[in-house]
A and B are shown apart, each in its own frame.
Chain A
Amino acid sequence: MFAPFHEALADPPGRLSLLRRRSGRPLIGVAPAYFPPEWVHAAGGLPVAFWGAALPVARADALLPPYCCPVARSILEMELAGRTAELAGWVFTSLCDTLVNLREIFRRLSSRPTLVFPIPLATDPFARRRRLAELIPAAFEDLGRLTGSAATGASLASASRLYGEIRNLQRRLYSLRRSRPGLIGVRNFYAALRAGFFMEPEEYRGRLADLLSRLEAAPEPPAGRRPRLFLSGMVVPPDEVLGLLEHLGLDPADDDFANGGRMISRPVFDPQDPAGSLEAAIFGGTPCCCLHVPGTDRAAVFPRLVREAGAGGVLLLPVRCCEPDAFERPAIGAGLAAAGIPALTMEMDCESLPLESLRTRLEAFRELLEESGP
């Protein structure tokens, strides 16, 4: 059931050539986060989202210091190693200081065009809304440069519909995981989610719909008490870590990864209400450590998210050197402690994963959760 999803993620360079051949569209690399992929599609491109990869970094060392996060370092490594050579251009947002500068590094590497979407952080709601409204036409103009064709009202409406359907399917996948513990393996779940970054959207929609109908019709998994977790961090951790969770019988009920729960909690762009829906697509939904949303305190919201998910504990998986996340960790930890929710923090460095020590810590955490009961 899950093979096509795993396949889509197995060999990124091979996948990119396949996608380019199959789709006939220019491939556009999308760096984290919140740039609407439907815009790329509407402009005739095929968005391929990169969230970092577990690979040794060698070439990128010449351009990025070790105190830079492995997400940025691995994306640059792929670029320098020619693994993203099939891309016609790159899209960045101003998600964090590292990505702002990474875009500058990329544009000096080759003549391939890059686009940056500056996410407004103004407290003043009018300034923010006005800014978004004026950024939209500028972004489409830049996208046209990347893809070689312009989005039209019709292409935008149809891309928004397509991606909206995908979003709904992904939400169904999430709610299935939540309501039927043990039904979907950890690695399978995230493969089904992340494959969307490396598939043509029409194919992905079809495969996901098919998967969901099969899962929904599947018999109940054998009953058994498995500790349910809420996973939190910037990005879905490497496959080895997901495999470890699965192996240890730790069962995620929900997550707030920027390429997971945060993404699916946001609506897609609606051409009928460009600035309003873009605002919702970026700032609405599960809070993100990289965004400033006046009146929203992620640390205060967090325990509620965990309870709603029915999770008995939280696994915080911050990316090494990710400052936006690191700033919020103490407040989140304190909020969880005050709410009596057990939490374990394990820093993720996909350049080198100390799997044995992660396993030991996870085993201890599982015991704690088992003792504390549901």
Chain B
Amino acid sequence: MTRLASFARMKELMTGYYLEAKTTREKPVIWLTSGAPVEYVYAAGALPVYPENYAAMCAASHQAPPLLEAAEAQGYSPDICAYARTDFGQDLLRGGPAGGLPPPQALVCATNICRTVVKWFEAVARKNRAPLFVVDMPFLHDGLTREALNYVLGQFRALEGFLAAQTGSAFDRERLLATVSLSREATGLWRKTLDLARHRPSPITALDAFVHIAPIVTLRGTPQCRDYYRELHREVADRVVRGEGAIPRERYRVLWDNLPIWHRMRWFETFFAERGLTLAAATYPNSWAAIDPPPGFQADDPLEALAVSYLNLYIHFGFTQRIDYLERLIEEFALTGFIMHSNRSCKPYSVGMYGLREELSRRTGLPGVVIEADQNDPRQFTEARTVTALEAFLEAMKPIDG
């Protein structure tokens, strides 16, 4: 894999972000889940901190194991999401690449990724005696509904009051609209960048996308975030012009479903590159890439459009919609197969995956494989078992040049 030059810029951006989070005196630190409407937090002049992002950084830099163990020693069961355990561990040991996260003054949690985050954030709120605001986003068993949208919009309005109480100043609607507009630009650029993987060879892989996800998660709604994705898009688009692929010889184009296995990024990169496999599409990075809303929900009102984008997430879809979406990705990105990560940590992503794999294979006629692992907990990863499963999958898959 040829590393994208933007990587250095991203590191710089993220270092600056964590530095500010650790040192700020004037901005209230608000902890957020990755699917919470951060635009409100930026508009309120507060500083959002994402324990999920930090947990992923800990795992990617191989610093998660002692944190997981510390949390377990405190009585947190290995059955709970490893992001949460990593977070509890960083708090106990002040561990990870930034030496721990700043404690929250308040927390905002949205249920559009899972209900697990409610329990996680409740625990953090209890420990820090900090107020918690839950934005409840009903699961879309049968697609988006007007009632669900109105329910969320009502909570967005209440969130303004909650944040005003945290910052001590009135909530500024104008500033919110400006933030939302920046956020839309950034998510649009992110989506355009990911869509470039439709080209053959693909100029970017999902493994790149997993790495470059950090700013769209944490800085969504800031000018730096928009500028960063402009730069990234330019760089990836240049690769397309030059006909340059992300890996030397693309033979297989594959979809990755579920979170990455952060502690094995380099291993997967090498394994896939050696076999000519490009992860040309993935569901996870698309969570911040504004999936097209269903008909009837293309709102002109920016706040309504924002609510739609937060509700309309793959992990938040009923299975029919999930399968349709996966099938669409397979078709649009001209894929040759799919890999599903049965992620012990993430029940909303993984429970039901075995059936989805069968169904997707039946519908598309393409091979799919489920690998058992965990996004953050290396103890749940067995290399030999994974290699066997992936080799069998590769054998069953027809290469694009075959």
Q: Interface residues, chain A, CB within 8 Å of chain B?
A: 62-65, 67-68, 72, 94, 96-98, 100-105, 107-108, 116, 118, 120-124, 126-128, 130-131, 134, 138, 289-290, 292, 294, 297, 299, 318, 320-324, 326-331, 333-334
Count of residues in B whose CB is under 8 Å from the partner chain: 46
* Chain B nearest Cβ from A137, distance in angstroms: 11
Residues facing A in B251-272 (CB within 8 A) are: none
Closest A residue, CB atoms, query B120: A327
List A contacts of B155 (CB < 8 A): 122-124, 127
Instruction: Kindly identify which residue among A122, A130, A294, A323 contacts B81, using a CB–CB cutoff of 8 Å.
Output: A323
List A contacts of B111 (CB < 8 A): 121
Q: Are A108 and B158 in contact (CB under 8 A)?
A: no
Q: Does B205 contact A (CB under 8 A)?
A: no
Known: A97-B115, A323-B81. 12 other contacts (CB 8 A): A64-B354, A65-B342, A67-B344, A101-B348, A102-B351, A102-B352, A120-B136, A120-B151, A122-B155, A123-B133, A130-B154, A334-B75
Report Cα–Cα, A176/B25, bound state, in Å: 57
List B contacts of A329 (CB < 8 A): 75-77
A122 and B354 in contact, given A68-B347, A323-B347 (Cβ under 8 angstroms): no
Q: Are A292 and B122 in contact (CB under 8 A)?
A: yes
Q: Are A118 and B115 in contact (CB under 8 A)?
A: no
Q: Are A333 and B75 in contact (CB under 8 A)?
A: yes
**Contact count A vs B, C-beta below 8 Å:** 144
Report Cα–Cα, A121/B147, bound state, in Å: 15
Report Cα–Cα, A56/B132, bound state, in Å: 41
Report Cα–Cα, A64/B118, bound state, in Å: 23
Q: Are B136 and A121 in contact (CB under 8 A)?
A: yes
Instruction: Kindly identify which residue among B80, B134, B158 contacts A126, using a CB–CB cutoff of 8 Å.
Output: B158
Q: Are A327 and B119 in contact (CB under 8 A)?
A: yes
Task: Supply 30 A–B pairs (Cβ within 8 Å), ascending by A.
Answer: A64-B352, A65-B344, A65-B350, A68-B351, A97-B116, A97-B348, A103-B141, A104-B319, A116-B141, A118-B138, A122-B135, A122-B136, A123-B133, A123-B135, A124-B155, A126-B158, A127-B158, A131-B151, A138-B147, A294-B134, A297-B126, A322-B79, A323-B81, A323-B119, A326-B80, A327-B120, A329-B75, A330-B76, A331-B123, A334-B75
Instruction: Kindly identify which residue among A63, A98, A120, A289 contacts B354, using a CB–CB cutoff of 8 Å.
Output: A63
Q: Does B355 contact A (CB under 8 A)?
A: yes
Report Cα–Cα, A18/B270, bound state, in Å: 61
Q: Are B119 and A63 in contact (CB under 8 A)?
A: no
A101 and B352 in contact, given A121-B118, A123-B134 (Cβ under 8 angstroms): yes
Q: Are B158 and A104 in contact (CB under 8 A)?
A: no
A121 and B126 in contact, given A116-B141, A127-B151, A127-B155 (Cβ under 8 angstroms): no
A327 and B354 in contact, given A65-B372, A96-B115, A123-B133 (Cβ under 8 angstroms): no
Q: Are B80 and A323 in contact (CB under 8 A)?
A: yes
List B contacts of A94 (CB < 8 A): 115, 138-139
Q: Are B75 and A330 in contact (CB under 8 A)?
A: yes
Q: Are A326 and B77 in contact (CB under 8 A)?
A: yes
Q: Does B382 contact A (CB under 8 A)?
A: no
Residues facing A in B121-180 (CB within 8 A) are: 122-123, 126, 132-136, 138-139, 141, 147, 151, 154-155, 158, 162
List B contacts of A326 (CB < 8 A): 76-77, 79-80
Q: Are B147 and A65 in contact (CB under 8 A)?
A: no
List A contacts of B84 (CB < 8 A): 327
List A contacts of B344 (CB < 8 A): 65, 67
* Chain A nearest Cβ from B166, distance in angstroms: 13
Report Cα–Cα, A346/B105, bound state, in Å: 36
Report Cα–Cα, A290/B139, bound state, in Å: 16
Q: Sorted from nearest, which 4 A-B pairs have the closest CB atoms?
A: A330-B75, A327-B119, A124-B158, A101-B351
Q: Are B123 and A327 in contact (CB under 8 A)?
A: yes
